[in-house]
Amino acid sequence: MTASRPDPAAVRTVTCAGTGVIGGGWVAYFLARGYDVVAWDPAPGAEERLRHLVDVAWPALTGLGLRGGASRDRLRYEPDLAKAVAETEFVQESAPEDLELKRRLLAEIDEATPLHVVISSSTSGYPMTDMQVKCAHPERTVVGHPFNPPYLIPLVEVVGGEQTDPAAVAWASEFFTVAGKSVITLEREVPGFIANRLQEALWREALHMIAAGEATVEQIDLSITDGPGLRWPVQGPMLTFHLAGGQGGMAHMLDHFGPSLKAPWTRLEAAELTTELRDDVVAGCEREAAGRSIDDLVAERDSGVIAVLRALGRA
pLDDT tens digit string along 162-213? 999 999 999 999 999 999 999 999 999 999 899 999 999 999 999 999 999 9
Whole-angstrom distance, CA of residue 215 vs CA of residue 208: 9
Average pLDDT over residues 228-245: 84
pLDDT at 301 (0 to 100): 85
Evaluate if residue 130 carries a pLDDT over 90.
yes
Q: Please give the span between the terminal C-alpha atoms of the chain, in angstroms, as a whole number.
A: 42
Domain map of the chain by residue range? 8-185, 194-311
Evaluate if residue 120 carries a pLDDT over 90.
yes
pLDDT tens digit string along 208-231? 999 999 999 999 999 999 999 888
Domain 8-185 superfamily per CATH: NAD(P)-binding Rossmann-like Domain (3.40.50.720)
Neighbour count for residue 7 (Cβ, 10 Å): 11
Residues 6+ apart with CB under 8 A from 291: none
DSSP-derived pairing of the beta strands 182-185 and 75-77 = unpaired
pLDDT at 1 (0 to 100): 41
Task: Judge whether 186 and 157 are in contact, CB under 8 Å.
Answer: yes
Average pLDDT score, the chain: 92
Evaluate if residue 275 carries a pLDDT over 80.
yes
Alpha helix stretches (DSSP H) within 113-248? 128-131, 166-178, 194-211, 217-225, 237-244
Whole-angstrom distance, CA of residue 41 vs CA of residue 199: 28
**Across 46-50, 249-253, 278-282, least confident range:** 249-253
Which listed CATH number (1.10.1040.10, 2.70.98.60, 3.50.50.60, 3.40.50.720) goes with 194-311? 1.10.1040.10
Of residues 138 and 229, more confidence is placed in 138
pLDDT tens digit string along 281-295? 889 889 988 898 888
Residues 6+ apart with CB under 8 A from 57: 25, 28, 149, 151, 152, 298, 302
pLDDT band at 264 (very low <50, low <70, confident <90, very high): low
Measure Cα distances from 192 to 22, 161, 189, 198 in Å.
Answer: 17, 14, 9, 9
**Across 3-7, 183-187, 194-198, 245-249, least confident range:** 245-249
pLDDT at 245 (0 to 100): 80
pLDDT band at 2 (very low <50, low <70, confident <90, very high): low
Q: How much is the pTM? A: 0.87
DSSP-derived pairing of the beta strands 155-160 and 141-146 = antiparallel
- Cβ-in-10-Å burial (0-12, 13-18, 19+) of 276 comes to exposed
In three-state secondary structure terms, 93 is strand
pLDDT at 56 (0 to 100): 94
Q: Starting at the edge strand that comes first in sequence, how are the strands of the sheet with 118-121 ordered?
A: 75-77, 36-40, 13-17, 90-93, 118-121, 141-146, 155-160, 182-185
Whole-angstrom distance, CA of residue 245 vs CA of residue 291: 43
pLDDT at 194 (0 to 100): 94
**Across 27-41, 111-125, 150-164, 191-205, least confident range:** 191-205
Of residues 262 and 172, more confidence is placed in 172
pLDDT at 10 (0 to 100): 97
DSSP-derived pairing of the beta strands 141-146 and 36-40 = unpaired
